[in-house]
Amino acid sequence: MRLPCALRRTHRNAWRRAREEAERFTASGYEIAGILRQAWEGFAEPDADIRTLVPRVKCPVFIAWAKSDRIIAWSLCRKAARRFSDARMTFFRGGHAAFLEDAQRFARAFRQFAKDKKLV
């Protein structure tokens, strides 16, 4: 199977609402293959699990989650996300990349977060 085909199959459902971005990502398959391989191999390393560091984060955190994410389940992450001392959790339409699939709503929510936290 050619790499772009594999990426397309993996991301066609994940990025349902961001077709143009998914196609660009797919088209770059050979160019980014090394980076993707390193990332996926890195996820398997024991030190990749940084959930124990969450309580040490003292800055405001904006958590954006795509409601229909089939790649990273919210049910597996919510416990760690709720351990941030100052976090805003916002769910968006989409299958994995909230900032792409619900871009306008994401931008509004992030701008509001930054304003509320006096980051801008």
More confident residue, 46 or 113: 113
Note the pTM of the prediction, 2 decimals.
0.75
CATH number at residue 70: 3.40.50.1820
**Domain of 96?**
3-116
Q: How confident is the model at residue 116 (pLDDT cuts 50, 70, 90)?
A: very high
For the ranges 26-35, 45-54, 76-85, the lowest mean pLDDT is seen at 26-35
Burial track 49-80 (b if 16+ CB lie within 10 A, e otherwise): eeeeebeeeeebbbbbbbebbeeeeeeeeeee
Q: How confident is the model at residue 1 (pLDDT cuts 50, 70, 90)?
A: very low
Q: Mean pLDDT across the stretch 91-108? A: 92
The alpha carbon of 14 is separated from its chain's Cα centroid by a whole number of angstroms, namely: 11
Domain count, the chain: 1
Q: Mean pLDDT across the stretch 61-85? A: 93
Check the CA dihedral 16-106-31-34 and report its sign.
Answer: negative
